[in-house]
Amino acid sequence: MQVIILPSAHEVALYAADRVVDVINTKPDPVLGLATGSTPIALYKELVARYQAKNVSFRRVTSFNLDEYIGITDAHQQSYRAFMEHYLFEQIDIFDENTHVPIADSQDVDVLKRSAQDYEQCIQLAGGIDLQILGIGLNGHIGFNEPTSSFASRTRIKTLSESTVVANKRFFEEGEYQPHLALTMGIGTILESKSVLLMATGKTKAEAVKAMIEGPLSAMCPASALQLHEAATIVLDEEAAGLLELKEYYQWCEQKRQQLHEGSLA
């Protein structure tokens, strides 16, 4: 795991934007894995700004989002499709047909199960995900893979944990129906991405971040599965890194990495 600790959430977003642009500029058919939640909003704002400044184009990009709520339609303001349209897709030159968010607006379980299988196939057909962006839930979830999700899980219907329902309540109106099921990429699906970049900011994430990086590999902290990935970067602000025991070591590693990049073994 590469652990990068930056002074602020703004710098976390700039770092993530650099990584996304790098994939777009180095791959002929870049495939991005995208995430929702409040953390990546700053990343999407930065990508829109770079697009407007004509520093990047999304014409060749295909995207796959991690997850979608079951029980609300795409038109609902809180659907992840609506989130992505609002914060990113509508503001850049990506082709609509190249943007994928799990299709979860059916009430028929068999249709949803087929939709999950089709999603897996669609990712394969696109050649796999080059860079998967991730956030982390307070309970260590990635996508909607809640604690005890199998590390081998694939895209499927998942029941949300109580803590996730409570954490996401703020996005729904008082008394409004709030989904408790989602269609999410599995941990196995995420681990097949060629590289992953998890962003975490703010002190509320510090415990989950510590469990992910320094805790045991455990289904109780789904994000700890990233310890198994050979190209996983965790980018944190100071607050999210606040409980890490080996914080100074990670900073030292980054200095060394830079020196090695410049060809120095000093």
Residue among 9, 13, 17, 37 that touches ligand GLP (CB under 6 A): 37
Residues 150-169 that bind ligand GLP (CB under 6 A): 164, 168
What DSSP designation does 43 have? H
Task: Let me know how long the chain is.
Answer: 266
| Rounded Cα gap, residues 235 and 172, in angstroms | 29
Does the annotation count 180 as an active-site position? no
Q: Residue 133's beta-bridge partner residues?
A: 197
Q: Please, are residues 219 and 148 in contact by the beta-carbon 8 Å criterion?
A: yes
3-state secondary structure of 257: helix
Residues 47-106 that bind ligand GLP (CB under 6 A): 66-67
Does the annotation count 139 as an active-site position? yes
* Interaction of residue 186 with ligand GLP, rule CB under 6 A: no
Size of the site for ligand GLP (CB under 6 A): 14
Does the annotation count 146 as an active-site position? yes
| Phi, psi values for residue 4, rounded to 5° | -115, 125
Angle, vertex CA 239, rays to CA 237 and CA 244, nearest 5 = 95
Does the annotation count 141 as an active-site position? yes
Given the residues 98, 130, 141, 229, the one annotated as active site: 141
Given the residues 46, 67, 105, 237, the one annotated as active site: 67
Residue with smaller CB distance to ligand GLP, 30 or 135: 135
Strand order in the sheet with 181-184: 67-70, 181-184, 156-159
Q: How far is the CB of 74 from ligand GLP (least distance, A)?
A: 16
Binding site for ligand GLP (CB under 6 A): 35-39, 66-67, 135-137, 143-144, 164, 168
Residue numbers annotated as active site: 67, 139, 141, 146
